[in-house]
Structure 1
Amino acid sequence: MANRTKTLRIAIGLGLLLVIIAGGGLWWYSNYKSTAMPGKMKPLLQVSSVSQIKDAYDVIVTGTDPEGVAAAVSAARNGLSVLLVDGRNREILGGLMTLGWLNSLDNNYSPESSLVPGKHNFLNKGIFQEWYDRIEGTSFDVVTAANAFYELVRQEPNIDLLMKVKTMEPIVTVGQDGMRKVTGVQVIRQDGSRHNVKAKAVIDATQDADIAAAAGVAFTIGREDIGDPKSQMAVTLVFKLRGVTQEVWESFGRHKDTGIDRMSGWGFPEMWEYPSSNKDKVRMRGLNIGRQNDGTILINALQIFGINPLDPRSVEEAFEIGKKEIPLVVDYMKKNFKEFADLELAGTAPELYVRETRHMKGIYRLTMTDVLDNRDQWDRIAFGSYKVDIQSTNYQDRGAIMMNPVQYAIPFRSILPREVNGLLVVGRSASFDTLPHGSARVIPVGMATGQAAGAAAKLAVDKELSFRELSESKQDIAALQERLNKQGMELKPLRIQPPAYTKHKAYAGLKAAVSMNLTVGGDKNEGFDLDGASNAQRFVYQLNGVGRLHSAYFKGKAADSLQGMSNPAEAQLTLEQAAAALGSAMGLPQNPRTTMQELLDRGVVKQDTVSAIQDPKRLTNGEAYMLIRDVVANYAGKTYD
């Protein structure tokens, strides 16, 4: 009898497993592999603001982008009174995704597969997963998304939502220790009424960390931290096309080097060759296509250069450039691709898709070595795994995939300013170096940091701790992580297999080279090519990059070492040539040329590095990076670890 019961239980268990697998497979097919029609168009929910705001709240969250929604919902669910306030002229929640029309997600996938076949297994989960489960998939209808954000907010009685204020500024006091502290936000409403609203904590979830900047938090701008202060990634004006029948949608998937699923399309790489009418300001790239439920599609591909998103006049210029160019782009698409022949322009996004502006100088700044190492952090509050995607900065630059991590941690210290108390900064303007920001800037990471910030506020309020005190306590950070795990996030310590490149003898050099933007790995990290042969021209280009970043030390011209060389791009890099190029970059006298022995005697190159070179007549890329690492560490005093 017992055996029969056991057998029955096993059979039932297997049956349930098969049902789950079958259901998962059906769900996966209907949502991803299927190219069936999208869902029905839903009415847009009208967002209501609170009529009266209180004099004080436990937490004020500024900005209604996805990160702000996550922060407000998290704080409210943890029992705090919350004011969620927005200073832009918005009618709906969701910001970049619903008004910038960035309707395709750059997701953070776990290295561990989902138990449900075909279903995505995201990192972090939590409030992001709740929102994601309400939309169509990795691309979504912006009305669905806006409604999902609003539903998350309005179901929380602890949140007062206030939209479309004229201005919002931090209220800042200075303590006896000289430290500034944000104690609330001054709000001026549309009717001109002024409100000084106090708070025990403020979470800045604006795209550009406007509240933090006004409070005196330090930032770098754009690519300043890699020696390119006048550059930042292009902004994009997303545009809409109408007339997309099911037949048209399926035709996209038959185009060469292009693919589709039910809601997403990608490809048409020929658009890189679109003849821009203004090459100083605008170009097209391959298409990212997000389907809408009303038979339209959104195209994320128009790159606009030289725009300062912090300057309203420059933003207006970007709209003017985009709206002038987009009709030309659509005409080109209609004439050159049969798939677009019958489609018509249906509008442009109300807001720009801005990829970067400010990068906060927080207690901890996420680095490229963190991402390369797939490094865990003791105070982890989120994980990232999206590729390090650096978009174009000018017409000649096609951007780059710096590398593709497995999984890395975002520390609590990266949302905490160095010199201002009472404030946390979440989203793309948090404390990330420019290059790792290419991965950490994505919305799912930002929503995870927002959820963590809301929970951290609860812990700080209950324990009467400053955020700085919280960040210094391993016991309290552990309590924060436990709280977040119980509330749907997954913040267990990392356990992943280190990538092969981390075991290479030149890995220390690679870390320096990638951190200084001297090499890129691509989607599969194969571009590092540590054992491939370097050449004289490439080494000089790399030293030019070092010179831009460490200009106080490398005042010479590395190219002087190429004099008399007919074809440096074909000349294998020798140890002798490398020494001459390093000496030229350092500004050392070159008559006679600098020798490696001289660099060894000066202590700027290690003997171990030279001894590890297998063939002095043919240096590899990895060996070249090791030489650069030594000189930057021992001459300029900067080590990338």
Structure 2
Amino acid sequence: MNMKSKLRPNMRYALKYARTLLVLALAIFLLIPQPFAASYNVKIQSQPLVTTLSPAATYDVIVVGTDPEGVMAAVSAARNGLKVLLVEPRPRKVLGGLMTIGWLNSLDLNKSPTINAKFPEKNLNGGLFQEWYKMIQGTSFDVNRAARAFQKMVQDEKNIDLVMNAKQVTPLLEGSKVSGMRLTRDNGKEQTIRAGAIIDATQDADIAAAAGAPYTLLREDLGESPDVRVAVTLVFKISGVTDQVWQEMKQHVGPGGGSDARSIWGYGDARAYKSSDPDRVRIRSLNIGRQDDNTILLNTMQIYGIDPLDPASLEEGIKIGTKEAPLIVDYLKKKYKPFRNVQYAGVAPELYVRESRHIIGEYRLTIADLLENRDFSDAIAYGSYEVDIQGSSTAGKPGSVMTGSIMMNPLQYGVPFRALVPQKIDGLLVVGRSASFDTLPHGSARVIPLGMATGEAAGAAVKLAKDKHKSLRELSRSKADMSELRKRLTQQGMDLKMRDLKAQAYTKHKDYPGLLVAADLFAAVGGYKNEDWGLDEISSPKRFVNVYRKMQKKYPALQSKSDAGSYLKTEDPALKWDDVAYLITQAAGQSVAREQASAWLVDQGWINEQTIKSFGNRNQLTNGDSYMVVRDLVENVTGVKVQ
């Protein structure tokens, strides 16, 4: 006889009644609104950050930089059985860098396209990112919670030694191979440490640059001068945001805005804010991330003219932002009712710098890769975030501020492992925003969750290279090894599935080859829905001149001594082919009559005859027509084929 049958009827009834009460109590508990922080499932205790006092003389891999990408690289390498030294070369006290010290607490997530029930929408970046994401739980997060989550992941790994606040970190070179690092501790002690590989997870690829890896700076690959600098941000804090205030803020986001439990985006009319110095600082629509202590962090300030590689310029940016932040809060309090009782609570310790160096790797991610949602046999991460091109200005030139734009919105694209492998220098991988991405795709690929995925891939790749007794470059060139790396990453929980996507409508347009070139010049923008390319719209002389000037900037072989605009009447409403042909010949320094210019270009092989035949109306060229002309010039004169 079992125990249940031995119970008297009244006892069985009492147990059943108790279970019913327990279920009812649980249901009531779930229905009652709980304190905000109680929504978290993972409790992370605050513990002192443990660092190593005596690093070993040799490690399998050294990871430089404790931004999220570096943390993931170190954890991945350690879990793959490697002995890891994680080094922070900045004066920081916590892990997480931009997220925890720059206060960038809202995540730009890479969402998978919703294709069917088999592949529902979810975050593309699984693995270690997802493990961390479960600990902070939300599209925005409390920075202290995030710091504790990073710390837990690192200090749960016995194979990781941690050094913070290093005064100097210099790569050791044996010929063209990185063989270790010369480290100067904060106490002045110097040490030479050997390693099988180095993973550069610094924001600006400092180690790769010091080792001699080639790179482009800022928008140099578009032909822009280094004086054209991308806006940086100083995140600031507002306190007094109770649950009631938060709900009120969510009701005022305005057109195009939105919200969820942790994030608010919108307030587009906030851009009307009158800056104290419009050439140096402005604001855009508000990106708001909620914390656990009735505070919010705002990513809205745009600071112009800052050199991302000059410490003095970065300090100037902080001073500009520190002065402007309380003025912005005063403006928000007056303009929006939900802000009326909040208080300004300070600025982040570090600037949010979006762009600096772009390493030239074994492969360089292009905007065409995103336009066509390309996959790669060595894809070690996937992205889908919109191509967010930030505003810029020319240093020392008043009135030069150019606003940013959403260039296009990819569905899903792969990031090849080769983009982490710099040319010319062996034994080194670069992860995060300074990997081998052109400026334009960088507008999407720079987001931190994707960077964390590249860090995880790098850690696993170092282990695979060691197992195969190969260099990282040799590894990147082997299809079999890349297949093995992808297999290992999948086993670690990463999502390396490419969805079966339909070709985007714009790729089927007859002038799409021209759009590829125009987009590569940042002369065409599709917007959030990829519907603003305007290929069939009638173009204008003014628009064509702007496109032509961008082409000349990027391709010196097409530059001329005179300005292209002097050969067209830019006030004309429609663009005419004969005028365009004349402009091209004159800008090239050729003495060709207007009526002979078209035939001359065809005879020279500069413009394809088929391109001219495809024009619907020679006296009213469309944007697509003009892009095809530019495509012919780039391909036939410079020999560059954008594809």
Structure 1 alignment gaps of length 5 or more? 1-25, 175-179
Larger radius of gyration: 2
Amino acid at match of 1:171: L
Name the CA distance, whole Å, in 2 between partners of 1:113 and 1:633: 36
Q: Deviations over 1:17-54 (max 9, x none)?
A: xxxxxxxxx9xx99xxx998454897643211122211
The answer on whether the counterparts of 2:165 and 2:186 sit within 8 Å (CA) in structure 1 is: yes
Say which SS state the counterpart of residue 381 (structure 2) adopts.
Answer: strand
Q: Which residue of 1 aligns with 2:197?
A: 201
Distance (Å, rounded) in 2 between the aligned partners of 1:363 and 1:36: 50
Offset from partner CA, 1:123-164 (integer Å, 9 cap, x none): 131111111111131111111111111111111111111111
How far does residue 287 in structure 1 lie from its aligned partner after superposition?
Answer: 0.6
Check whether the contact 1:38–1:262 (CA below 8 A) recurs between aligned residues.
no
8 Å contact 2:113–2:499 — kept in the other structure?
no
Gaps in structure 2 of 5+ consecutive residues? 1-26, 394-399
- Pick from 93, 99, 102: which aligns with 1:91? 93
Is contact 2:582-2:594 (8 Å) kept?
no
Q: Corresponding residue for 1:161? A: 162
Match of 1:562 in 2: 568
- Name the aligned partner's letter for residue 248 of structure 2: S
Q: Within 5 Å, which residues of 2 pair with 1:449-598? A: 449-493=454-498, 495-555=500-560, 556-563=562-569, 567-568=571-572, 571-589=573-591, 591-592=593-594, 595-598=597-600
Measured against aligned partners, the alpha-carbon deviations of 1:317-355 in whole angstroms (never above 9, x if no partner) come to 111111111121112122222221211111110111000
Residue by residue over 1:156-198, the C-alpha shift from the partner in whole angstroms, topping out at 9 and shown as x without a partner, is: 1111111111111111111xxxxx1111111111221111111
Q: In structure 1, give the amino acid aligned to 2:501.
A: I
Which residue of structure 1 aligns with residue 24 of structure 2? none
Kept in 2: contact 1:387–1:405 (CA 8 A): yes
Q: Distance in 2 between matches of 1:591 and 1:615?
A: 21
Specify which of 234, 240, 246 is matched with residue 243 of structure 2.
246
Mapping of residues 260-275 of structure 1, within 5 Å: 260-275=259-274
Q: How far apart are residue 636 of structure 1 and its match?
A: 2.5
Q: 1:365 to 1:207 in 2, by over 3 A?
A: same
| TM-score (normalizing by structure 1) | 0.90
Give the deviation of 1:272 after TM superposition: 1.4
The within-5 A match list for 1:617-628 is 617-628=619-630
Contact 1:547–1:585 at 8 Å: present in 2 too?
A: no
Q: In 2 relative to 1, CA 393–424 (structure 1 residues): closer, same or farther, beyond 3 Å?
A: same
Residues 518-554 of structure 1, C-alpha deviations (whole Å, 9 max, x = no match): 1111101111121222122211111111122223422
CA-CA distance at 1:113 after TM superposition: 6.3
Partner of 1:434: 439
Aligned to 1:22: none
Letter in 1 for 2:602: L
1:341 matched residue in structure 2: 340
CA distance in 2, matches of 1:416, 1:318: 32
User: Structure 1 residues 114, 341: CA separation in 2 closer, same or farther (over 3 Å shift)?
Assistant: farther
TM-score by length of 2: 0.90
**Deviates most, 265-274 or 202-211:** 265-274
Q: Aligned equivalents of 2:428 and 2:392: distance in 1? A: 31
- CA offset at residue 561 of structure 1? 2.3
Distance 1:637-1:58 versus aligned 2 partners, 3 A rule: same
Aligned 8 A contact 2:582 2:593 in 1: no
Change (3 A) 1:350 1:40: farther
In 2, distance between residues paired with 1:365 and 1:337?
45
Question: Within 2, Cα distance between the matches of 1:115 and 1:562?
Answer: 54
Deviation at 1:497, TM superposition (A): 1.2
Identity across matched positions, percent: 50
Aligned to 2:214: 218
**Residue 452 of structure 2: aligned partner:** 447
Residue 319 of structure 2 corresponds to 320
Contact 1:239 1:299 in 2 (8 A): yes
Aligned residue for 2:484, secondary structure, equals helix
**Preserved contact between residue 578 and residue 594 of structure 2 (Cα < 8 Å):** no
Aligned position for 1:139 = 140
Query: Displacement of 1:590 after TM fit?
Result: 6.0
Residue 547 of structure 2 aligns to which amino acid in structure 1? Q
Whether 1:609 aligns to 2:611 is yes
Does the CA-based 8 Å contact 2:279-2:401 persist in structure 1? no
Asked if structure 2 preserves the Cα contact closer than 8 Å seen for 1:460 and 1:466, the reply is: yes
1:19 maps to which residue? none
Q: Distance in 2 between matches of 1:81 and 1:341?
A: 53
Contact 1:560 1:584 (C-alpha < 8 Å) held by counterparts = no
CA contact (8 A) 2:115 2:499 kept: no
2:325 alignment partner AA: I
1:382-430 deviation digits (Å, cap 9, x = unpaired): 1111111011113632201111111111111100011001100000000
What is aligned with 1:416?
421
Q: Distance in 1 between matches of 2:34 and 2:630?
A: 50
Tell me how far apart the structure 2 counterparts of residues 533 and 91 of structure 1 sit (CA, whole Å).
57
Task: Find the counterpart in structure 2 of residue 65 from structure 1.
Answer: 67
Counterpart CA distance in 2 for 1:543 and 1:329 is 39
Aligned residues: 601
- Matching residue within 226, 231, 241 for 1:234: 231
Q: Quick check: 1:123 aligned with 2:121?
A: no
- Contact in 2 for aligned 1:114/1:121 (Cα 8 Å): no
